[in-house]
Amino acid sequence: MHEYTSTLRIWELTCPGYLEEVGRARRWTRDILSDSDHADDAALIVTELGTNALLHSASGNQGEAFNLTISRAPETVLISVTDAGGTRTTPHVAHPDENDTHGRGLALVSTLAQRLHINGDDKHGHTVTAELSTAPETPNTPLTHGYWCECLVNGGKLGSFDATSPEQAIRWVRISLMTIAMALDEEPYRQAQHWKNHEQPQALEALRKGEPQHLTLKHRTTHITWTARPVTFLPMAHRQGRILPACTQMHSTAQLTSLRGE
């Protein structure tokens, strides 16, 4: 392709080693991809990769940084984060237990992205690149009945999931609820435990009857709400065959702190 007719565009951002920079990188990503269907997924990927770089590499040290690159073509978006090295292991997709609060970052990214590439070394830093591609349109795709689940923080979406059954929807709510609750104060954590132990069966039965469900916890000045409701949607091809995307378990204390500072 001739250089003057190329449709590939590249943006770069250097973020100093502070957790507040994750919020800036997320907003920057949304601005660049404001007209793209990939904007929300890309923002989540940047959140995970940026947080991982700060927490697990020298990027979080004083005077260090991580670098974010977004490459955009008509049907593909590449998101690359390069850390400052200093890690003992190569970044990899982990599969933690349900009650673990860490180790889910690359699992989330691998769920959202069509492809995931990891390059580099401990000395010069690792680069993790997530590829988001626009799937070809499928004519006459049948609508599917399911359940749309969301987690909202002060009205802004933190995570979502398209469930195929009431049981799957309530499980998403339970896992994300308890993961986040572990980072909250005692009272909202107690409320989350009460819902899990006593109100969960009633919520499941009501959702089976088609009644939307919601639950809100208050942590200081932050309101966190989970919703689950029946919907009819077009299935997302890149998520078919996955029982429960790792984005249900994406939350950590660091990410909540970063979000509140946004």
Confidence at residue 77, expressed as pLDDT on a 0 to 100 scale: 93
Closest CA to 57 of 11, 105, 91: 91
Is residue 125's pLDDT more than 50?
Answer: yes
Q: Is the pLDDT of residue 127 over 80?
A: yes
Task: Please tell me whether residue 68 adopts helix, strand or coil conformation.
Answer: strand
Angle at 64 between CA 21 and CA 62, to 5 degrees: 90
Give the tokens for residue 259.
């979000």
Report which of 157, 131, 167 is spatially closest to residue 244, judged by C-alpha positions: 167
**CA 151 – CA 133 distance, rounded (Å):** 25
Higher pLDDT, 162 or 204: 204
Q: Quick check: 107 pLDDT over 50?
A: yes
pLDDT of residue 160: 86
Write the DSSP assignment of 78-111 as a string of letters: EEEEE-----SS--------TT--SS-HHHHHHH
The closest alpha carbon to 79, from 37, 31, 45, 30, belongs to 45
- Under the banding of pLDDT at 50, 70 and 90, the label for residue 162 is confident
* pLDDT tens-digit map of 33-62: 999 989 999 999 999 999 989 988 999 898
Q: What is the pTM of this model?
A: 0.49
Better-scored residue on pLDDT, 110 or 149: 149
Among 14-28, 63-77, 230-244, the least confident range: 230-244
Burial category of 182 from C-beta neighbours within 10 Å (exposed 0-12, middle 13-18, buried 19 and up): middle
pLDDT (0 to 100) of residue 46? 93
pLDDT at res. 136: 52
Asked whether residue 200 carries a pLDDT value surpassing 80, the answer given is: yes
User: Phi-psi category of 103—alpha, beta or left, where left has phi over 0 and alpha has psi -120 to 50?
Assistant: left
User: pLDDT at residue 256 above 70?
Assistant: no
Instruction: Specify the pLDDT at position 93.
Output: 52
154 pLDDT exceeds 50? yes
pLDDT of residue 88: 61
